[in-house]
Amino acid sequence: MIRIGIIGATGYAGAELVRILHGHKDAEIVWYGSRSYVDEKYASIYRNMFELVEDECLGDNMAEMAERVDVIFTATPQGYLAGILTEEILEKVKIIDLSADYRIKDVSVYEKWYGIEHKSPQFIDEAVYGLCEINRDKVKNARLVANPGCYTTCSILTAYPLVKEGIIDPNTLIVDAKSGTSGAGRGAKVPNLFCEVNESIKAYGVASHRHTPEIEEQLGYACGGDVVISFTPHLVPMNRGILATEYAALTRKVTAEEIKVVYDKYYGEETFVRVLPMGNVPETRWVEGSNYVDIGFKIDERTNRIVMIGAIDNLVKGAAGQAVQNMNIMFGLPENMGLDMVPLFP
The one among 76, 135, 155, 284 contacting a second copy by CB under 8 A: 284
The yes-or-no answer on residue 223 being catalytic is: no
Binding segment for a second copy (CB under 8 A), chosen from 43-51, 78-86, 157-165, 326-334, is: 43-51
Nearest one of 205, 164, 180 to 318, comparing CA atoms: 180
Q: Does 298 bind a second copy (CB under 8 A)?
A: yes
Q: Does 193 bind a second copy (CB under 8 A)?
A: yes
The one among 100, 287, 293, 319 contacting a second copy by CB under 8 A: 287
Between CA 319 and CA 342 the distance in angstroms is: 17
Cβ neighbours of residue 11 closer than 8 Å, sequence gap 6 or more: 75, 185, 186
Q: Does 116 bind a second copy (CB under 8 A)?
A: no
Q: Of 136 and 186, which CB lies nearer to a second copy in the complex structure?
A: 186
Between CA 112 and CA 8 the distance in angstroms is: 25
The one among 118, 164, 209, 274 contacting a second copy by CB under 8 A: 274
Query: Closest separation between CB of residue 158 and a second copy, Å?
Result: 12
Site for a second copy in 214-233 (CB under 8 A): 228-230, 232
The one among 1, 26, 38, 52 contacting a second copy by CB under 8 A: 52
Query: Closest separation between CB of residue 217 and a second copy, Å?
Result: 14
Length of the chain: 346
Cβ neighbours of residue 56 closer than 8 Å, sequence gap 6 or more: 32, 39, 40, 41, 42
Query: Closest separation between CB of residue 63 and a second copy, Å?
Result: 30
What is the CB-side half-sphere exposure of residue 159 using CA atoms within 13 A? 38
The one among 95, 309, 330, 339 contacting a second copy by CB under 8 A: 309
Interface size with a second copy, residues (CB under 8 A)? 81
Strands 174-179, 242-249: pairing kind: antiparallel
The catalytically annotated residue of 132, 150, 154, 223 is 150
Q: Of 1 and 206, which CB lies nearer to a second copy in the complex structure?
A: 206
Give yes or no for a contact between 163 and 170, defined as CB atoms under 8 angstroms apart: yes
Q: Of 88 and 269, which CB lies nearer to a second copy in the complex structure?
A: 269
Site for a second copy in 243-272 (CB under 8 A): 243, 245, 247
| Element spanning 97, H or E | strand 94-97
For 318, the 3-state DSSP assignment is helix
Integer angstrom CA distances of residue 82 from 110, 111, 124, 176: 12, 12, 9, 30
Q: Does 25 bind a second copy (CB under 8 A)?
A: no
What residues does 3 pair with on adjacent strands?
28
Give yes or no for a contact between 297 and 254, defined as CB atoms under 8 angstroms apart: no
Q: Does 167 bind a second copy (CB under 8 A)?
A: no
Q: Does 240 bind a second copy (CB under 8 A)?
A: yes
Binding segment for a second copy (CB under 8 A), chosen from 50-58, 94-102, 108-116, 156-164, is: 50-58
Give yes or no for a contact between 82 and 107, defined as CB atoms under 8 angstroms apart: no
Q: Does 103 bind a second copy (CB under 8 A)?
A: no
Q: Does 38 bind a second copy (CB under 8 A)?
A: no
Binding segment for a second copy (CB under 8 A), chosen from 74-82, 97-105, 119-127, 304-312, is: 304-312
- Torsion-angle region of 110 (φ positive above 0: left; ψ -120 to 50: alpha; else: beta): alpha
Q: Does 30 bind a second copy (CB under 8 A)?
A: no
Give yes or no for a contact between 84 and 62, defined as CB atoms under 8 angstroms apart: yes
Among all residues, which ones are annotated catalytic?
A: 150
